[in-house]
Structure 1
Amino acid sequence: MANFKGHALPGSFFLLFGLWWSVKYPLRHLSQKASKKSQRNYCFQRVDAIEGAVKIVFALIGMLAEQFVPDGPHMYLYSGEKRDWVKLMNWQHTTMYLFYGLSGAVDVLTYLFHVVPRGLDRLMLSVAVFVEGCLFYYHVFHRPMLDQHIHSLLLIAIFSGACSTMLEVFLCDNIVLEMFRAGVTIIQGTWFWQIGVVLFQPWGGPMWDESDHDNIMFLTMCFFWHWAAAVVILAINYTVAYCCIQRCRRGSGEPYIGLGVRKQKCDTSSQAAFLNGSDEEVSPMTSSFLGSALRGTFFLVFGLWWSVRYPLKYLRRQVNAENQPSYGVQRAEVFEGTVKAFFALAGILVEQFVPSGPHMTLYSPKTHSWTDLTHWHYTTMYLFFLLSGIVDVVSHSPLKLPLGLDRLLLSVALFMEGLLFCFRDYGDAALDQHLHSLLAMAIFAGALCALLEVFLRDHVILESLRTSTFLLQGSWLWQIGFVLTPPWGGPGWDQTDRSNVTFLTMCFCWHYAGALAVLAANAATSRCCNESCQLKFGDIDVELDCGMCIRKSKGSSGALLPESGLDDK
């Protein structure tokens, strides 16, 4: 249905399932962890079957609504009289619902018949999401620019969900993948509502200008705000689930909670009850050398820190052959997350409250246009790095976040940064666009590395590659500042000279060679320092832990020693 209701209906379906999964999966993960059980509880299997039945009902409602609304096709696909297809858009939506109905049927069959291969339900769900993405990809051809863009953003959430669900076929009951799927499903739901509001204005008022590029810039930012809100919802629901588990453990010893079900080992007769046009100006902070240099310094600092920290951590792990990270490493990660959050918060405040900044004003009612959207783009970028820093800190708290969630949030933050640069309005500035497209290559490479680290934890090659991309981002942002707004004054480089494009492509490769050289030099220095410490102190394990050392002996646990003179040690 090409109206607001046609987008609100599927949006509500996705939103309900996303919110449901954001509660169900943390409860299952934490309750099984608390009760030391590895197999899935029978209660959760029943929940999966009921969930499949609800999915079938929702899909049937969607198909009937698409076919039998007053202006629907009423099951006619081709008109013999007009020799033309009948309401193909409704048929596309019907096809989408059909595959979700098949996914629900497989969920039910998986519960009823144990001969069904494990993982088939996830495979069918992945196929349904992939079909949805393909339908929407060919859904917006020959549409206005704004219509195409707002649906292309939806495709990001759809194909992300399809890929993560496909991974669940082989990594069953992986809490990180399950939470990620819940998050992208929530985003799909809220973004369907956003599409309906933008394109059809259900509450009246003027329609959005579909040829104004500022609207595209705003909607790109808005999409990432939806993503940030989904992350916050996941965090809140996970925290609530953790608090419920802890409260039940204190009150009744060893509980097993299953969505409205509490079972105690000492109570064999317990009953389980299932509860059922813009005025934006290029401001000094945004386009100046200082603005690029500050953002570049943010990435350079972390790249240089990691180029020292990861080689040392790898070498100490090789010597000690320990799988568990030491207390010093954990403290270093908490410190790193705190610094990341602090830098990101400082970046948000600078972008918003410089004299020429928007001062938290997004829309100007006087001029009826957006205000300083470039500042808001950078604010959105810093917002996701702030969330990443918070997750780094909370990962080492008693909350027991899933292993790998910190890397997943870092990957999401980098991915958002790359997309923001891709959809930025460069106008006719070909050199500006080329500079930032090279930057996007480094960003997406770092995002891919961080995503792989979710599953390959403490892999030194991935950590080194991510470090090199951060060094490259930092130095290249400085280079962008030199090219576009030279600090010594005067005009920037000629935007129309193709030779400049050729040189800067070469220069980008030189920057990466420099990043690899820095990484190699710091790794070699770390090895020399590590060997020197072993020769001098023997059982002293030097960690990057804010000036602390750990003494390890065979018969005693590690004890923290403040770094002081050699005699004290």
Structure 2
Amino acid sequence: MARGPDPAPRGHLSSPQGVEKDESPFGSVLPAASLGPAWPSPAFRTVSRLIPKAGDGEGGGRQSGFGAASPAASLGPGVSLVFNHSHASVMGSFLGHTLTGLSFLLLGFAWAIKHPLKFLGRKSKYSLQIEKLIYWVELLEWGGMAVVCSSGALLEQCLLEGPCFRLYNETTHQWVFLNLWQHSTMHAFFAMAGVVGVLTRCKFQIPMGLDHLLFSLALFNEGLLFYTHSSRMSALDQYIHYILLIPIWTGAVCSLFEVWHRNNPILELFRTSMFITQGTWLWQIAFLLWGTSSWDHNDPETYIFMALCYSWHYGSAVLFLAFTYGIVYWVLWILKGNCGGEAMEIQKFNQADAKTYTALLNGSDEE
């Protein structure tokens, strides 16, 4: 009896023979439009983010332009995609993108309240209390950044069979998990900025503005590493990460200006809007690549919608800042109004009492 073709091995995704493949600028293979609008499926998007172990020989992966192992060589006549499920990046997943986005959002929300409060509270009767509160909030911000980012750098190196501070494999002559090294480097730069921020607020002899300078350099470095990020499985994946460079590098330039223009409310609010947008866009990336809905990665209108979607993200961030600014202004006005109203009533009462007392002394029935 004739034997049929062997089924695809476990952990593989097979496509019909003769499927065309397009090479991306980063060496990853892009599926052709003949795969249909449902490509890539949610299952493919999930496993495609996992990083093959460098040098283990599984799947016949070839080396990409930036050194990360790519499954392109396994796309032979049967067009099978091979992935090693045991080696994944923490940030290169749905959970990683959402947690990182949540960190940027929390920091942006804190700034959305702190900066208007610092600006509007300067002439308030509570200015001393507000200044003391902001000091402790900033100390918590920079200290939390140092702790969280240091932990993130160590987790990327040591968990999930990471590189463990090994950059190059002398046996296989291949780089070891450059994706994880990129993530660790991002965290390390933000951790250094956090340490300097804490030391600056602890009255150490540190030049004024050095905290914002290191923070700006950390953002520039983040943008550079995102620009050269490897293992992108589709052009749409690259495109949405390139859009992410807009809030990253814009925030870096804004932080650099704050080295010389410290406590400028315009720069502070603009930087806050960039951080909120970066956080929401990371969530957008997570749901686009690992969500339940399917996106056509070969439809040009998808790219147009992504640019439009980013505009909505930033517009929403600006509206949120306007809302929080109005809330802070209203709260301070209410507190100042109540105090001012009570003082006005006391002043009127004293004037009326003095007038009555004068009339009684003059023997007049005026009152």
Whether the TM-score (by the shorter chain) exceeds 0.5 is yes
- 2:107 paired with 1:305: no
Deviation at residue 384 of structure 1 after TM alignment? 0.9
Output aligned runs, 1:137-536, within 5 Å.
213-215=65-67, 283=88, 285-319=90-124, 326-425=131-230, 429-486=234-291, 488=292, 493-535=295-337
Compare the two structures and name the one with the higher helix fraction. 1
Shift, 1:524, TM fit:
1.1
Q: Distance in 2 between matches of 1:361 and 1:391?
A: 27
On the 8 A contact 1:299/1:474 being kept in 2, the answer is yes
Give the partner amino acid of 2:321. L
Q: Distance in 2 between the 1:482 and 1:353 partners?
A: 27
Contact 1:363–1:369 (CA<8 Å) still a contact in 2? yes
Structure 1 contact 286–374 (Cα < 8 Å) conserved? no
Q: Which runs of 5+ in 1 are unaligned?
A: 1-210, 218-278, 539-569
Match of 2:59 in 1: none
1:284 shift after superposition: 5.4
Larger Rg: 2
Q: Is the 8 A contact 1:426 1:432 kept in 2?
A: no
CA 496–401 in structure 1, closer or farther in 2 if over 3 Å, else same: same
The secondary structure found in structure 2 opposite 1:359 is: coil
Query: What is the CA-CA distance between 1:450 and the residue it aligns to?
Result: 0.6
8 Å CA contact 2:104–2:279 kept in 1: the answer is yes
Query: How many Å apart are 1:533 and its aligned residue?
Result: 3.1
Task: Give the SS at the match of 2:230.
Answer: coil
1:309 counterpart SS class: helix
Percent of aligned pairs sharing the same letter: 36
The structural deviation recorded for 1:322 is 8.1
Whole-angstrom CA distance in 2 between matches of 1:349 and 1:475: 25
2:227–2:245 contact (8 Å) kept in structure 1: yes
CA deviation map 1:306-365 (0-9, x unaligned) = 000000000012446989x93333222212111111221232233223325333332233
Task: Give the superposition deviation at 1:500.
Answer: 1.1
Q: Which amino acid aligns with 2:115?
A: Y
Aligned partner of residue 327 in structure 2, secondary structure: helix
What residue identity is the alignment partner of 2:296? D
How far, CA to CA, are the matches of 1:493 and 1:426 in structure 2?
Answer: 19
The residue type paired with residue 200 of structure 2 is S
Structure 1 residues 355 and 428: alpha-carbon distance in aligned structure 2, compared to 1, 3 A threshold: closer
Number of the residue aligned with 2:354:
none
The TM-score, its normalising length taken from structure 2, stands at 0.65
Specify the alignment match of 2:58 in structure 1. Answer: none
The DSSP-based 3-state class of the residue aligned with 1:395 is helix
Q: Give 3-state SS (helix, strand or coil) of 2:251's partner.
A: helix
The alpha carbon displacement at 1:300 in A equals: 0.7
Q: Could you say if the C-alpha distance between residues 310 and 361 of structure 1 is closer, same or farther in structure 2, counting changes exceeding 3 Å?
A: same
Distance 1:417 1:290 in 2: 19
Q: Which residue of 2 aligns with 1:141?
A: none
What is the CA–CA distance in structure 2 between the aligned matches of 1:284 and 1:485, rounded to whole Å?
Answer: 14
Would you say the 8 A contact 1:280–1:373 is kept in 2? no
- What secondary structure does 1:408 align onto? helix
SS of the residue corresponding to residue 246 of structure 2 reads helix
| Distance (Å, rounded) in 2 between the aligned partners of 1:375 and 1:335 | 28
Q: Is the 8 A contact 2:281 2:313 kept in 1?
A: yes
Q: Which segments of structure 1 move beyond 6 Å, counting only runs of 4 or more?
A: 279-282, 320-323
* RMSD, aligned α-carbons: 2.9
Query: Contact 1:214/1:370 (CA < 8 Å) preserved in 2?
Result: no
Counterpart residue identity of residue 186, structure 2: M
Cα gap change, 1:332/1:287 in structure 2, threshold over 3 Å: closer, same or farther? closer
The one-letter code of the counterpart of 2:264 is H
The separation in 2 between residues aligned to 1:500 and 1:356, in whole angstroms, is 36
| Number of residue pairs matched by the alignment | 264
Q: Relative contact order (alpha carbons < 8 A, sep ≥ 6): 1 or 2 greater?
A: 2
C-alpha deviation, 1:397, in angstroms:
2.2
User: Would the aligned equivalents of 1:446 and 1:469 in 2 still touch at CA under 8 Å?
Assistant: yes
1:93-119 CA-partner distances (Å, limit 9, x unpaired): xxxxxxxxxxxxxxxxxxxxxxxxxxx
Deviations 1:63-95 (A, max 9, x none): xxxxxxxxxxxxxxxxxxxxxxxxxxxxxxxxx
Contact 1:341 1:387 in 2 (8 A): yes
Tell me the distance in 2 between the aligned counterparts of 1:458 and 1:448.
15
Name the TM-score, length of structure 1 as normaliser: 0.43
